[in-house]
Amino acid sequence: MPVITYRQALNDALAEELERDGNVFLMGEEVAEYNGAYKITEGLWKRFGDKRVIDTPISEAGFIGLGVGAAMMGLRPVMELMFWSFAYVAYDQIINNAGCVRYMSGGLINCPLVIRGPANGGTNVGATHSHTPENFLANTPGLKVVCPATPADAKGLMKAAIRDNDPVCVMENTLLYGDQGEVPEGDYVIPIGVADVKREGTDVSLIAHGRAVLTCLAAAHRLHEEFNISAEVVDLRSIRPLDEQTVLDSVRKTHRAVLVDENKPFCGVSSQIATMIQEHAFDDLDAPVQRVCSLDAPAIYSPALETQQLPTADRIIQKVLAIS
């Protein structure tokens, strides 16, 4: 199986879908002639031309709204936000229009739109560029949210998102773009709403999404090596729809859960997972559900501190040891 970067996996997914369906087009700031601020769309403008790969002015509300309107008409826009943090100036378009138009029209309209871009802290760019709005977006019935952690998931989920007939928010991570991993060849599509057990274990379930999955895998390795604790790592992959069954199956097996989330703790994704576990698997628990989130402050600039603000393997290990 070829080993490629997360960035290349996304690029391949976009290229394959552009090739497959003439209704697919890419649009965003610097996606065409500049080859993408993070080079996710590198080479695509040259290959597919002005009609299919389109640079926009810096007008997130305007061009995201344009994408919603075009999707209502049956096109399949793939809109890049240079950072998901910039979605905040386009929220009306995303929440009210993409998220609610199907409902308000009584099902007469659907919106096959993809909005994609990085949503992560950890790059020392301060609070305005470090938001992780998956919890806000998943709070809107009508939107779907996926957060791939590996190159294979990035490709499979991106292709599924483009083919989906509902609006899908794809949250990538600039810290992962250079990561390498095996990606199946051919038309590799991962259904949205299916979690993945990234490491099997018996003593505790570490449940995460996005880059936090990799932090969990590092913690699980050390838990095994240093403490002889067998940790299972569940990668949610999709926030909404949510693969509740895989999470509950894991908790019923290990009887302990530590939820790891680069979101802030208040009403973060892990809050939803925690309430779901206590509602459906309370009797299976041998210990209270624990959470490791970003420290509850705006993203700090200082590189020395931001590393500590995001969930670390050390903090995960401490939480696991506290309930083991």
Partner 1 sequence: MSVTRAEKPKKTGKNPVDYAKAPINADLTPEQKLGFLADMLRIRRFEQASLKLYQQGKMGGFLHLYIGQESVAVGTLALMGENDHAITAYRDHGHALVVGMSMNECMAELLGKATGCSKGKGGSMHFFAPDKNFWGGHGIVAGQTPLGLGIAFALKYKGLKGCCLTYLGDGAVNQGVFHESLNIAALWDVPVVYIIENNQYSMGTSLARSSAIKSCLAERATGYDMDWDIVNGENLYEVRAKTWDAMQRAHEKCRPAILEIDTYRYYGHSVADANAKKYRKPEEIEFYKQNHDPITLWENRLKEEGIADEAVIKKLDDAAKKEAAASVQFAEDSPFPELESVFDDIYYEVDMGTESGKTGRHFFND
Q: Which two tokens stand for residue 37?
A: 């601020």
| Total residues in contact with partner 1, by rule CB under 8 A | 56
| Cis amide leading into 303 (omega within 30) | no
Which range in 65-73, 120-128, 296-304, 314-322 contacts partner 1 by CB under 8 A? Answer: 65-73
Active-site residue identified among 16, 17, 29, 60: 60
Q: 3-state DSSP call for residue 216?
A: helix
**Is residue 62 involved in binding partner 1 (CB under 8 A)?**
yes
173 to 202: interface string for partner 1, x by CB under 8 A: ------------------xxxx--------
Q: Which is nearer to partner 1, 153 or 166 (CB)?
A: 166
Active-site residue identified among 17, 80, 129, 209: 129
The 8-class DSSP code of residue 175 comes to T
Q: Which helix (H) or strand (E) holds 290?
A: strand 290-293
Q: Which is nearer to partner 1, 101 or 183 (CB)?
A: 101
> Of residues 70, 87, 171, 214, which one binds partner 1 by CB under 8 A?
70
Near partner 1 in 247-276, by CB under 8 A? 272, 276
> Which candidate, 41, 110, 107, places its Cα nearest to that of 79?
41
Q: How far is the CB of 64 from partner 1 (least distance, A)?
A: 7
State the chain's maximal CA–CA distance in angstroms. Answer: 58
* Angle (CA) 74 77 83, round 5°: 150
Q: Which is nearer to partner 1, 130 or 238 (CB)?
A: 238
Tell me the C-alpha distance between 64 and 191, whole Å: 25
Q: Own/partner pairs for 123-126, CB < 8 Å, 24+ apart?
A: 123/174, 123/175, 124/301, 124/302, 124/303, 124/306, 125/299, 125/301, 126/299, 126/300, 126/301
14 to 33: interface string for partner 1, x by CB under 8 A: -----------x--------
Q: How far is the CB of 128 from partner 1 (least distance, A)?
A: 18
Q: Which residues contribute to the site for partner 1 (CB under 8 A)?
A: 25, 51, 56-57, 59, 61-75, 92-93, 96-97, 101-110, 112, 141-142, 144, 160, 163-166, 191-194, 238, 240-244, 272, 276, 279
Active-site residues, by number, are 60, 129
